[in-house]
Chains A and B, each alone.
Chain A
Amino acid sequence: MKPAPFEYFAPETAEEALALMAEHGVEARPLAGGQSLVPLINMRMAQPSVLIDLNRCPELAYLRGEDGMLVSGPMTRQRELELSETVRAACPLIAKAMPYMGHATIRNRGTAGGSLSHADPSAELPGVALALGAEMIAGGPNGRRTVPATEFFFAELTTALEPDEMLCEIRFPEAPAGSRAAFAEVGSHFGGLALVGVAAQIDLDSAGRCTKAALAATGAGERPTRLSSTEAVLTGEVLEKQSIAEAAEAAAGDVEPLEDLHATAHWRRRAAVAMAARVLHEIADEAGTR
């Protein structure tokens, strides 16, 4: 099957892109890396009549540290997030999750903003953004507004972005000194369809005690889910076999998985528990508390 016809614009500035979004509204889709949108267009599951290609707006692709935040443009490629020393130092969780996103060739083209705006419930970056407490900067006809990650993901493929808005910047709080991060995922095969994943960043004091836990699950609901019960169980504890088992089990009550062709809701719930245990064990091993 081939794409249905569409009108194509290739703006060269963010301002021009936003003006086109305002003009074409619901008819238009911004085209970032295209690694999720173009398959839908090829299969005609999506038939936007206007495509606004952001690939010729160099000002939308950047990565910098700023006042304790790692700031990314929407068009920054996933491969850059994966390999950047800035990212590895500021937000190691992002660097650890990136290799799970598709394949290297997909990440060469796929972008930070594209993955977040597409909001596939199984996608890695939305889970990472939720765990880190990222801020999404949405731009539209009325200017810019900040949407916290907790309010950005509504449902499957649905975000807080209005039809004439686009994601203009992502701000990730830098990991505090002494924190550790891990990401784990289970899927049909490596790089293939992801089923359930867990992203974690755990702050540890000098005695190895958890002072703050931040975990989010992907693929275990219609949007990425913060594992608040797991976090509550862990806080104040040293990560060892018993505390990890209890904390991971608590994740079963945090997720609300849906059943589909790939897995039952029960399977996804247990996978969330298993992935939570896996990331916590990895962090405990790194910290030497287990």
Chain B
Amino acid sequence: MTARREVRVTVNGRAYARNVEPRMLLVDFLRHECGLTGTHVGCAHGVCGACTIVLDGVSVRSCLTFAVQAEGKEITTVEGLADGESLTALQQAFHENHALQCGYCTPGFLMSLTEFLRETPNPDEGQIRERLSGNLCRCTGYANIVSAVQMAAQRLREKGGVS
């Protein structure tokens, strides 16, 4: 056992401070220490994208980051996307396009694609599929996810909004 360290982070605007071992992965910290179970553990080695979160403004794999590395940083998880009952354009488009079946991979897709739509407001299908290659979904075959991204992108452009 190695000495525990205090980790203080802000997750979705709320401050958390916990003492954890350095070997604790950030995804386990979010789930077990903060109780934020929307972020999922899929492969635990960076391949599937289910654990994708936003750390200091960019999307990262929370299974490839140790909780101690997030000390003092700001995190957004899938729980931080919707404003109360009001879904983001991307979440709403996932809902309307049936872009999820079991839903296990969905939080990771949403976190990665929210960043993608901010960087690429008018994506073509090739760009969408290239971005989707970083997240695995074993149910949908991706077609409905592509449709959802296209719908969300269009609505965001019409609205001139960001999320």
Q: Which residues of A contact B (CB under 8 A)?
A: 1-8, 10, 34-35, 38-39, 42-43, 51, 53, 55, 79, 99, 102-106, 108-109, 189-192
Q: Which of A39, A53, A192 has the most CB of B within 10 A?
A: A39
Question: Number of A-B pairs whose CB atoms are under 8 Å?
Answer: 93
**Interface membership of B63, Cβ < 8 A:** yes
Q: Mark B97-139, 1 if CB is under 8 A from A, else 0.
A: 0000000000000001001100000000000001101100000
Cβ–Cβ contact A190 & B58, under 8 A: no
**Interface membership of B23, Cβ < 8 A:** yes
CA of A34 to CA of B64 in the docked complex: distance in angstroms? 6
Sorted nearest first, the 7 A-B pairs with minimum C-beta distance are: A103-B134, A8-B22, A39-B45, A191-B133, A3-B23, A108-B58, A38-B64
List residues of chain A with CB within 8 A of the CB of B63. Answer: 38, 42
Cβ–Cβ contact A105 & B65, under 8 A: no
Cβ–Cβ contact B49 & A105, under 8 A: yes
| Distance of A29 from chain B, by nearest CB (Å) | 13
CB nearest to B65 among chain A residues: A34
Cβ–Cβ contact A10 & B68, under 8 A: yes
CA of A104 to CA of B5 in the docked complex: distance in angstroms? 31
List residues of chain A with CB within 8 A of the CB of B36. Answer: none
Cβ–Cβ contact A190 & B44, under 8 A: no
**Interface membership of B61, Cβ < 8 A:** yes
CA of A258 to CA of B87 in the docked complex: distance in angstroms? 51
18 A-B residue pairs with Cβ-Cβ distance under 8 Å, sorted by A, are A2-B23, A2-B25, A2-B28, A5-B21, A5-B23, A7-B2, A8-B22, A10-B69, A10-B71, A34-B65, A38-B46, A42-B44, A42-B63, A103-B133, A105-B59, A105-B134, A109-B61, A190-B130
CB nearest to A53 among chain B residues: B69
Cβ–Cβ contact A6 & B23, under 8 A: yes
CB nearest to B108 among chain A residues: A105
CA of A79 to CA of B63 in the docked complex: distance in angstroms? 19
CA of A39 to CA of B42 in the docked complex: distance in angstroms? 13
Cβ–Cβ contact B69 & A109, under 8 A: no
List residues of chain B with CB within 8 A of the CB of A103. Answer: 49, 131, 133-134
| Distance of A70 from chain B, by nearest CB (Å) | 23
| Distance of B22 from chain A, by nearest CB (Å) | 4
Which one, B49, B64, B116, B133, contacts A190 given CB within 8 A?
Answer: B133
Interface residues in B1-31 by Cβ distance below 8 A to A read 1-3, 5, 21-23, 25, 28
Given A55-B69, A104-B134, A191-B130, 19 further pairs, Cβ under 8 A: A3-B25, A3-B66, A5-B21, A7-B22, A39-B45, A42-B25, A51-B22, A51-B66, A102-B134, A103-B134, A105-B112, A105-B134, A108-B58, A109-B58, A109-B60, A109-B65, A189-B133, A190-B130, A192-B133
| Distance of A34 from chain B, by nearest CB (Å) | 5
CB nearest to B61 among chain A residues: A105
| Distance of A233 from chain B, by nearest CB (Å) | 34
CA of A214 to CA of B130 in the docked complex: distance in angstroms? 28
| Distance of A18 from chain B, by nearest CB (Å) | 20
